[in-house]
Structure 1
Amino acid sequence: MYVASVRPSERVKGRVPGTVVALGAVSLLTDVSAEMVTAFMPVYLLFTLNMGYAQFGVLDGLYTGATAVLRLVGGHLSDRTHRHKAVAAVGYGLSAVTKLIFPLVGASAFGIGATMAADRAGKGLRTAPRDALISLATPPDRLGAAFGLHRGMDTVGALLGPLMTFLLMYWVGTVAGPVFVVSACFAVVGLIVLVAFVRENPRPATAGPRPSVRAGVALLRERGYRRLAVGSAVLGLATLSDAFVFILVQKATGAPLHLLPLLPLGTALVFLVAAAPVGRLADRIGRWPVFLGGHVLLLGVYVLLLAAGTGYVGVGVALSLHGLFYAATDGVLSARVSAVVPESLRASGLAVVQTGQAVARLVSSVGFGFLLQFAAFGTAVYAAIGSLLVAVVVAWRLNAERRAG
């Protein structure tokens, strides 16, 4: 049985289309796979392979930023061919294959980096087509709710992934093979669900210019879209990767090292609870204000890092704010961008903004890794706080006249 994309005449008031639910299930399974690796990597690279923070920052930057170019490719191909699902499936498949390559590269930093880049390239290829499928199936006034539901289901996977990594480490230690094999199994099942249960509407989008590279670039000439793209990229430059946030929270609070793989669970649990209601809130009061407010919450996380030795209370507060940050930003930005991009260029428009964020976060990870390696802990945290504060002010000024939406 297939879950078909919902045509306008079939949309039921107040409900999220079945396409969104089906894609949420795909993302749930895929995120179990991805978050197993994300939770395992800091322990494996820093404490098993004894890499320095600078090396870790470079690899983490690759993991975060390797999506950049292929986001544009995936967005353009899916708009040009009207085959959003097929392009997304290639991306999901590439990520699944890399999980089986990880154990083969051993302790080689080059091999690990290349495999991480390939894994994230798969994510880059699939993200814009997947978000385009969601936005094209959903009425404009419910985009925040739809992306919130999707990200909430995705977060169930983010909860289960670190938990499975923790259990595997408890049973077999920091052996890489079992983690990556189990991760690959979940990725393959997610790909099967996509192929078997998601069907996109084959009718080409008619609203907007004909898809082309030139038309995609021309979106940046539109003042509102350009400000969204620049504002989100500026904020990305000052956003630490999840891996660094969890490492810093563990160091600042004095939490036991063996709990490090479990810290993503706190963020994911809050994200799961808050994603849908925050998405609905963004539909009502405006998506950009909510997105910007999420980064103010992230600023609170950074400030808490200066309160050393706060123990489990500090861990709980920091992870709660981190989860609310994701609830207010992850799907909300996609909903905001979808509202200003024509249907025919929906994936391309999403890809340009997502690419800007990916490149910015790559720079952030590499730069902060070197800073943490060669500067005092407090100095690095103060730098993160100052950078994010400046970025929030710049993004607010860029979109100061932003109307609700």
Structure 2
Amino acid sequence: MYLADRSAPAGAKTARQNAPDGGPVRAPAVASAVLALGTVSLITDVSSEMVTAVLPLYLVAGLGLSPLGFGALDGVYNGVSALVQLTGGHLADRVRNHKLIAGIGYGLSALCKPLLLLAHSLGPVGVVLALERTGKGLRTAPRDALISLSTPAELQGRAFGVHRAMDTTGALLGPLAAFFILNTAVGGYDAVFGVSACVAVLGVVVLMLFVPSGAGLGPPGPDVGTSPRPAAAQPDSPKPAAVNLREAVALLRLPRLRALALCATLLGLTTVSDAFLYLLLQDRTGIREQWFPLLPLGTAAVFLMLAVPAGALADRIGRRTVFLAGHALLLAGYGLLLWAPHQPALPYLVLVLHGLFYAATDGVLPAAVAATVPAKLRATGIALVGTGQALARFGCSLAFGAAWTLWGAGPALAGAAAGLCCCAAVAGFVLRPAAPDTAPEPARHPRGTR
């Protein structure tokens, strides 16, 4: 199938290697580089989600932005990251130092947090958020490439699930920290922004000290990613040549990558941003402002519990099925917001569905991309698909904010739900099971090996 081949590559059916005495030794299911990167993401997400949890209310209630103005700012928040992500991915592949580019991205985001203390109007806030998202765009593809290159091919869904679970632990702790700071500290929002900056610096320190510089940077070829130990542990391997822009552009000739990019973009066009979803919940249910920072906790808690099981399930039954099921769950959440706004259990149900959506899609998509591109262009391939998805979500934020301003929350959400239903149907067709790239077996051997 396009989204992932359910069979592992030859020689990669089991994550085992021979011990010095010749006996089999089971390699760890999750590489140390993945755990180190997960720790960095956990700390960084505490910092980021402290800001994200209070930002919608700060802008709409505090600065008096309209839904259209917030939609424009939220679009910038996602759109800038999308544009820079492609640059970050290509730079990482070109200089062959994924950790360096990721570190620059983490560092830039950390530097921007204190600037929020000085921004009190739409223009300055927009500039600061654009710079912060520039850092996120630079780090995302190199980080995901490090994860995929440090993990056996048949375990990448699990590895991304572990990373996303650790990342989401930070997303769970961040809103809690923001909630307690808002309710105890003098200066409210400024205190949140100041503490967030300190935590972000800690994340950069952990990256520099504990993430291996050479993780995943082994020689290119079909066997890269199938060894259970990081390729950097093989000192005799030749260092691959830097890639050029022509090779990066040539990735678009891969049918599977084009299919993934198309579907990620289509579905992103109808994926309402987290901030708007939480504002919709408050609008439809009347949740009081002091409880607003806790809404992301519901999504994060479900994501945390199910990210690893969802990744393992995708490795087992196919990533296409899990990916599309995630969007079906998001559509169900839209339906509840539209047709059951007065039910007491609505916030809980919507947040559970939202968390399930992320568990089934957030780590599954980069794992699928990693299975379609060569190792030396791994970061670029991940960035290509991620850029299309993020630019589509940028457009969705603008359109949804305008629709809410002109027609109200209900009609805007109904339009998003209808669009998601249509785009999911198209994605299901494009990502339908297909013959593998190798030559098919003769028809007289229907039970031959795959």
Bucket of the pairwise TM-score, normalised by the shorter protein: over 0.9
What do the CA deviations read for 1:328-380 (whole angstroms, capped 9, x no partner)?
00011010000111000000000000000110000000110011111122211
User: Which residue does the alignment assign to 1:257?
Assistant: 289
Counterparts of 1:252 and 1:174, CA distance in 2? 29
Counterparts of 1:146 and 1:204, CA distance in 2? 18
User: Which residue does the alignment assign to 2:84?
Assistant: 70
Deviation of 1:402 (Å): 4.8
Inter-CA distance 78–97: structure 2 relative to 1 (3 Å threshold): same
Larger radius of gyration: 2
What pairs with 1:240-251 in structure 2 (closer than 5 Å)? 240-251=272-283
Q: Does structure 2 conserve the Cα–Cα contact (< 8 Å) formed by 1:133 and 1:200? A: no
Counterparts of 1:9 and 1:83, CA distance in 2? 30
Structure 1 residue 274 corresponds to structure 2 residue 306: yes
User: Which residue does the alignment assign to 1:94?
Assistant: 108
Counterparts of 2:288 and 2:390, CA distance in 1? 31
Deviation of 1:64 (Å): 1.3
* Aligned AA (1:189): L
Deviation of 1:256 (Å): 2.3
What do the CA deviations read for 1:184-235 (whole angstroms, capped 9, x no partner)?
1111101000000011327553228962211111111111110011111100
Classify the secondary structure of the residue corresponding to 2:281. helix
Deviation of 1:252 (Å): 1.6
Alignment RMSD, CA only?
2.0
Inter-CA distance 250–130: structure 2 relative to 1 (3 Å threshold): same
Counterparts of 1:290 and 1:152, CA distance in 2? 17
User: Which residue does the alignment assign to 1:378?
Assistant: 410
Q: Which of 151, 162, 170 is matched with 1:157 structurally? A: 170
User: Which residue does the alignment assign to 1:140?
Assistant: 153
Tell me the TM-score normalised to structure 1 length: 0.94
What pairs with 1:2-401 in structure 2 (closer than 5 Å)? 12-13=26-27, 15-106=29-120, 108-172=121-185, 175-201=188-214, 203-207=217-221, 211-310=243-342, 312-401=344-433
Query: Unpaired segments of 5 or more residues in structure 2?
Result: 1-14, 20-24, 223-240, 437-450
Inter-CA distance 74–80: structure 2 relative to 1 (3 Å threshold): same
Q: Does structure 1 conserve the Cα–Cα contact (< 8 Å) formed by 2:97 and 2:214? A: no
Greater fraction of residues in helix: 1
Counterparts of 2:160 and 2:405, CA distance in 1? 37
Percent identical pairs in the alignment equals 49
Query: Unpaired segments of 5 or more residues in structure 1?
Result: 1-5
Counterparts of 2:356 and 2:417, CA distance in 1? 18
Inter-CA distance 47–116: structure 2 relative to 1 (3 Å threshold): same
Counterparts of 1:323 and 1:174, CA distance in 2? 31
* Aligned AA (1:183): S
Classify the secondary structure of the residue corresponding to 1:305. helix
Classify the secondary structure of the residue corresponding to 1:121. helix
Q: Does structure 2 conserve the Cα–Cα contact (< 8 Å) formed by 1:70 and 1:124? A: yes
* Aligned AA (2:44): T
User: Which residue does the alignment assign to 1:3?
Assistant: none
What do the CA deviations read for 1:4-59 (whole angstroms, capped 9, x no partner)?
xx998899445111110110000000000111111111110011111100000000
Inter-CA distance 263–403: structure 2 relative to 1 (3 Å threshold): farther
Classify the secondary structure of the residue corresponding to 2:103. helix
Q: Does structure 1 conserve the Cα–Cα contact (< 8 Å) formed by 2:95 and 2:242? A: no
What do the CA deviations read for 1:269-327 (whole angstroms, capped 9, x no partner)?
00000000000000001112211110110001100111354354111100000000000
Deviation of 1:251 (Å): 1.6
Classify the secondary structure of the residue corresponding to 2:339. coil
* Aligned AA (1:111): P
Deviation of 1:403 (Å): 7.0
Counterparts of 1:26 and 1:244, CA distance in 2? 27
Deviation of 1:254 (Å): 2.8
Q: Does structure 2 conserve the Cα–Cα contact (< 8 Å) formed by 1:44 and 1:174? A: no
Inter-CA distance 256–141: structure 2 relative to 1 (3 Å threshold): same
Deviation of 1:258 (Å): 2.1
Q: Does structure 1 conserve the Cα–Cα contact (< 8 Å) formed by 2:157 and 2:363? A: yes
Tell me the TM-score normalised to structure 2 length: 0.85
Q: Does structure 2 conserve the Cα–Cα contact (< 8 Å) formed by 1:286 and 1:403? A: no
Counterparts of 1:246 and 1:312, CA distance in 2? 16
Q: Which runs of 4+ in 1 moved over 4 A?
A: 6-12
Counterparts of 1:331 and 1:312, CA distance in 2? 32
Counterparts of 2:272 and 2:435, CA distance in 1? 29
Classify the secondary structure of the residue corresponding to 1:306. helix
Aligned residues: 398
Classify the secondary structure of the residue corresponding to 2:38. helix
Counterparts of 1:403 and 1:145, CA distance in 2? 25
Q: Does structure 2 conserve the Cα–Cα contact (< 8 Å) formed by 1:36 and 1:162? A: yes
* Aligned AA (2:278): F
Inter-CA distance 178–197: structure 2 relative to 1 (3 Å threshold): same
Inter-CA distance 53–324: structure 2 relative to 1 (3 Å threshold): same
Inter-CA distance 258–116: structure 2 relative to 1 (3 Å threshold): same
Classify the secondary structure of the residue corresponding to 2:65. coil
Inter-CA distance 192–402: structure 2 relative to 1 (3 Å threshold): farther
Q: Does structure 2 conserve the Cα–Cα contact (< 8 Å) formed by 1:148 and 1:277? A: yes
Counterparts of 1:255 and 1:325, CA distance in 2? 23
Counterparts of 1:402 and 1:364, CA distance in 2? 30
Q: Does structure 1 conserve the Cα–Cα contact (< 8 Å) formed by 2:16 and 2:26? A: no
Counterparts of 2:254 and 2:341, CA distance in 1? 48
Inter-CA distance 193–213: structure 2 relative to 1 (3 Å threshold): same
